[in-house]
Each structure stands twice: as structure tokens, then as C-alpha cells.
Chains A and B, each alone.
Chain A
Amino acid sequence: MLKMTHLSKVYRTEVVETYALRDFNIDVKEGEFVAVTGPSGSGKTTFLTIAGLLETFTGGEYLLDGVDVSGLNDNARSKIRNEKIGFIFQAFNLIPDLNVFDNVEVPLRYRGMKAAERKQRIMDALERVGLASRLKHYPAELSGGQQQRVAIARALAGSPRLLLADEPTGNLDTQMARGVMELLEDIHREGATIVMVTHDPELAARAQRNVHIIDGQEVDIAEDPRFHAEHAASSHV
């Protein structure tokens, strides 16, 4: 489903070159639930934005659903984002001007769907996250957990093959976080491929497989000394 080989991402300023990802490899199979973990600044969010075609990469290869995405133009990339990928963000990123219904509708609009089909899909998606009764509410009128459910409904409405989640519970209290996590697991059980970025080991543990990034590289936790050093340092504080 998602395969990166020797992928690198370099940020250049006038003074320095910073490697956000370096010789990065990952292979996520169809239907997998993978958690990508790592400390802050390790490059895990960069990985997610590249995986989601929000950003381009500097070197290496990225195959999404078997397609090499490196040569695609903005329109093609937008189309892929719209049809194959669903995003769930830490900060929900609902559009404050739009109500729940209109927020979920956004990706469907860009697909040029008929109104009736859009409505059906929106209702299904909101039903799925248990918010069908809140169509007319604006994001500001909802709790954090509800907002994240709307965001998940928005990600699901377009029936994407791949769901990318960035610290989906990061802004939520424990109880709400649990609810959102259970929802993701349900979705996974129904066949979606999920890649979740988190620094929370407890959350990561609920995925089928964990991938760790440190300094922009995928590592084996057991063997990498940097991981231990970091870990040790943080446990002393």
C-alpha cells in the first residue's frame, strides 16, 4: 500500500542543510495498522506529510498503492489526496466557518460528486462516528472529542484506502482519547489501512506493528544506542 525506500528529505536554508529524513524505509501492507513512533523532532511528522503528499521529498522512492508519486504535478497529487487518503490531525483542523455537515462535505466537493450521493456519504460517515444528530453544529459548539469524530467522519466520507493520523488523541483527555482510539480500531477491523504517528507508547501498543524513527531514520529499538541514550536521559528528568 505504502512503500518508501531510501527516502530522504532535506530542508535547506542559506546557512544549513537539515535532514528531516535520511535513508528512510518503510513498507505498509494493505489492511495493516501501523504506528510510527519517535521523540519530538525525530522526523515522524515529516514522514506523515510526505506519505500524505502534502510535501515533496528530496531523494529515494515512494510508491503509493503501487504508483510512483515523485513525478506527479499538483493536480495529480491533489486528486490522490482527495480519493485515496484520509487525514486525521492532532488539532482536528475543522474549518470553523463551516458546520459539521459542510465540513464533512469538503473532500466530496472536490470529487465532483452529485448532491444526493454526497449527502448519503456524509450521513453514513457521521452515523459511523455517532454524530448524525449534530449536522448543523459549528466546530466551536462541539467538545474536542466530538470535533475529532467529525474530522474522522470527514476522513472516512471519501472511502479512502489509506488513513493517516497525526497524534489523533494528542489534544484530548483520556476518556475522549479512548473513544477515538476505539473508533480507529473499528475502522481498521473493517479493512482500512491506517498509519498513525504518535509519541505515546500506550497508543502505539494498540497498533499491529510499530515503526520507530530517530533523527530521520527507521531504527530497531532494541539495538540503537541513540534510542537508549534518549530514553535514559528522559527517564532521569
Chain B
Amino acid sequence: MLAYYLRLGLRSLRRNPMLTSLMVLAIGFGVAASMTTYAVFRAVSGNPIPDKSAQLYKPLIDNWGHANGRTSDDPPNAMDYTDAAALMKDGKGVMQTVSYPLGLSVIPADPKAKPFRVYGYATYADFFPMFGVPFKYGGAWPADDDARHAPVAVIGEKINQRLFGGANSVGRSIDIEGNRYRIAGVTRAWNPQPRFYDVNNTGGFAADPPEVWIPFTRAVDLQIPTWGNNNCNGRVAPGWDGWLHSECIWLSYWVELPDAAAAARYKNYLHAYAAQQQQAGRFDWAPNVRLYNVTQWLADQHVVPQESQVSLLVAMGFLVVCLVNTIGLLLAKFMRRAPEIGVRRALGASRGEVYRQFLAEAAMVGVAGGVLGLLLTAGGVLGIGMVFDPDIARLARVDVSLIALTLLVAVVATVLAAFYPTWRAARVQPAWQLKSN
């Protein structure tokens, strides 16, 4: 019977090609607009580290208060050196790391090759196991190297290719700005999005994966400045040491805690630490600390760009208008066939049969709209680079789940839109239609 209804539907749709294409276009455009913007939204609002997002925590300590006319009640979104060093020394988490971004020049051993720029992080050994960085060769440097301020480095696949032709370079050395580092490991391409561990400097999205990591302790010894943001409030004494011991915030602190209970204990610890700073006279305000897990942190920092949210909303509104449009057109189309419905009812079609016949027809419109929507979505995702930051646009992809979702949304939306017209069709009184002649 379904085949019969599909055949009838096809015939009816072919009879009014204008009306049919109008409905298909409306559904297609509406679905494509929604799905394209959804593809972006899905990409930017995803969980970058689903396995551990509830174990990784971002502690914040308010070291600014309301000094110098600051009005915000929230702690600044990064940490100063004093607090980061203190927390690191206490080491209350299972693992913890402090990091800051680096922009460095690598000098190739080959004197004919030009120096080139790499970006990466100064951090602690725990960084790699905490964030699940995958290694191709070797691994993180031993924790011992942090304490020894050792000249070791982890490099990315790309510069390993450039410097060593992709060979296992563990144990060999790399010249960064005239200093030699022993290579402890080579990572595979690793670039979780959003870049949760460095939202402060990337806004959450960065196209190129980091390519070099060196011990934080070593970087500070060499006075390598941050490649990222440095925000100061209050006096800064001259020189590197003056800066280190200022209230300038430029560090990203992360701690791994096994469960909620541990997180609660850690928060108490932060509170106690801030209270102690208050007693010592460094803060003249009550302890003000935060502890966010990954998803909370991304939400707090509004990582999902406004453009993405606004355009998703507008596109969904657009889809709703397209559906209202489809309801009207289907109503016109179905009611024009009231005489046919009357005859079918007289010949023994129950209301259920009328429902099935017309919903089948609507579903075909939905499928056609979905296919058109799919093509437009594919085009839209390709063209999305025009609208969004390329760092974000390239994250949007057409995959099997998006294709399935596009078709599903098109068919479900159209069938929902068809319910009212179909209900009206099923209510057609056979007697009235047949008598009126």
C-alpha cells in the first residue's frame, strides 16, 4: 500500500511542478541554512576531550580584587607567576601543569636552510599525560627534568619532518634561538578544538597545532617572554624579575582531580591559599576563587562565537518560516483535491488511509527537499569560510551524521508541516463533495 501511495504522491506532485518545486525549494533552503550553521555550531561547541573533561580543572584566584578601579567580581581568567608557582609547589592534584605560549625561531643544522618560526608552549611534564597528547616517538620528558630546568623538548610531527625527514629524532638535539635542546618525544598532530587548555590566548580556536614544548622552568630561566596575552594591573617593577613578581596575569594553570569530592577539597585548598594571601597583606579582599572543569570553563569563556549562535538562530527562524510556507502550500494542494478525497472515502478509504496517502506525499516532498538541502548544505559548508573565521570554518565538516541529520530534519519537518493539511484532508465529508455537483 505504501508503494501505491508513493506512486499516487509522485503523480500528484508532478501535476503541479511549480507548487511542488516551490515547496521543495523552501524545505531545501530552510534545511540547508539550518544545517550549515549547525555544522559550524556543532564544531565549535563540541567537547574537545570527552574522556577527561570532568577530571581536568581550571583553578582561578582573584589577585586583582577591585584595585585600580576594576569593577568585575570575577577573578581574572589567567594566573600570575606568584600564585602559579605556589600552587605548583603544593602539587595538590593528581597531576598539574602551568603553561604559556611561545613563538620561537628554530635554526636548522643545515647552514643553508633559513631559520623558521614555530609556536608551542612552555609547560610541565604532566601536560602530556593530562591532555592525552599522542606520541609518535618517545614521550614526555621525565618530571625530574622540570626540577632540573633541563634543556629538553617535545616537538611536533611537522618540524620533525622538516628537520629530520620524519625519522625517529628522540635523543637528537634541536637549536631553538641559539640554545640546544635534547628531543624527548615527537607528537602526532594534536589539536583538540576548542583549544580548551589555552582559551586565554586563542579564544578557543587555532588552526595550526602547537609544534614545540619545552620545560616551563627552563623557559623562565631563559627569560623567554610569552607569545600570548599579558595583562597587568598595578605596579610592575622593572626587569624580568620585576615582571615575574608583579600581579600581571599570563599563565594558564590546569590540575587533574579524580572526582567531585577531590574537586571540592581542591576548592577548599584554593580558598585557604587566598585567605593566607589576604592575611599576608597581599590581597586586601576576601578570598575569591573558582574551579571550573573543561566544559564549565568553555561555557564561562563564551568560546562558542556569537556569530555562530546568532546565525544558527536566524537560520532556524528561517526554517520555521519555510515550514509555515509549506503548511500553506500543502493545504492549498490537498484541499484542491477535496473531490478526489470524497470519492476515495465513498469507495471505502478510512480516515487513516487518507492520512497515510497524504503524509506519504508530504514525505516525498521532504525527501526531495532533504536531497536539495544536502547539496546546498555541502555548498554552504564549503562557502562557510566567507562567513566565519577560517580557524573555525575549517572545523565544519559534512559527515555521515550530518547527512543523516539533514535528511531526517527535512522529512520530519515536512511531515510535521503536513499534519494540519492532512488532518483537514481527512475531515473532508464524502457526502458534501459528491452532492455538491
Contacts from A to B (Cβ < 8 Å): 45, 49, 52, 54-55, 74-75, 78-79, 81-83, 87, 89-91, 93-98, 106-107, 109-112, 154, 158, 166
Contacts and interface: CB of A to CB of B under 8 A. Distances in A.
A95 B352 contact: no
B52 interface: no
Interface string B11-25: 110010000000000
A110 B356 CA distance: 12
B353 A91 contact: no
Contacts of B1: 109, 112
A95 B340 contact: yes
Interface stretch (B174-182, B190-198, B428-436): B428-436
Nearest to A56: B431
Contacts of A75: 350-352
A91 B350 CA distance: 22
A79 B346 CA distance: 10
Contacts of A107: 347-348
Contacts of B343: 93-95, 106
B435 A82 contact: no
Interface in B248-306: none
Contacts of A158: 348
Contacts of B347: 81-82, 87, 106-107, 110, 154
B431 A55 contact: yes
Contacts of A95: 340, 343-344
A27 to B, nearest CB: 23
B332 to A, nearest CB: 16
Given A49-B430, A166-B434, 4 more contacts: A45-B435, A49-B434, A75-B351, A110-B348
Contact of A52 (B8, B346, B351): B346
Nearest to A76: B350
A78 B437 contact: no
A107 B431 CA distance: 17
A49 B429 CA distance: 11
A79 B352 contact: no
Contacts of B346: 52, 54, 81, 87, 93
Given A45-B435, A49-B435, A110 B349 contact: yes
B139 interface: no
A154 B346 CA distance: 12
B435 A74 contact: no
B340 A97 contact: yes
25 contacts: A45-B435, A49-B431, A49-B434, A52-B346, A54-B429, A54-B431, A54-B434, A55-B431, A75-B350, A75-B351, A75-B352, A78-B345, A78-B348, A78-B349, A78-B351, A82-B348, A87-B434, A89-B434, A89-B437, A93-B434, A94-B343, A98-B11, A109-B4, A154-B347, A166-B434
Interface in B333-373: 339-340, 342-353
What bracket does the count of chain B residues touching chain A fall in? 20 to 34
B93 to A, nearest CB: 67
Contacts of A111: 348
Nearest to A157: B347
Contacts of B351: 74-75, 78
A79 B435 contact: no
A98 to B, nearest CB: 8
User: Which of B347, B352, B435 has most A Cβ within 10 Å?
Assistant: B347
Contacts of A45: 435
Contacts of A96: 340
User: Which of B344, B348, B353 has most A Cβ within 10 Å?
Assistant: B348
B348 A79 contact: yes
Interface string B397-437: 00000000000000000000000000000000111001101
B350 A97 contact: no
A183 to B, nearest CB: 19
Nearest to B430: A54
Contacts of B345: 54, 78, 81
A83 B348 contact: yes
A20 to B, nearest CB: 11
A91 B435 CA distance: 9
Nearest to B15: A97
A93 B343 CA distance: 6
Contacts of A54: 345-346, 429-431, 434
Nearest to B436: A91
Contacts of B353: 78, 110
B350 A78 contact: yes
Interface string B84-128: 000000000000000000000000000000000000000000000
Nearest to B14: A97
Nearest to A75: B350
A74 B11 CA distance: 27
A79 B345 CA distance: 10
Contacts of A110: 344, 347-350, 353
B111 to A, nearest CB: 83
Contacts of B352: 75
A117 to B, nearest CB: 15
A46 to B, nearest CB: 8
B350 A74 contact: yes
A126 B344 CA distance: 19
A79 B347 CA distance: 9
Nearest to B4: A109
B203 to A, nearest CB: 58
A154 B343 CA distance: 11
Nearest to A166: B434
A97 B11 contact: yes
For the complex of A and B, list the 5 residue pairs with the smallest distance between their C-beta atoms, beginning with the closest: A82-B348, A78-B350, A91-B437, A49-B431, A54-B431
A109 B350 CA distance: 12
A97 B12 CA distance: 7
B288 to A, nearest CB: 69
A166 B349 CA distance: 20
Contacts of B8: 97
Contact of B437 (A82, A90, A106): A90
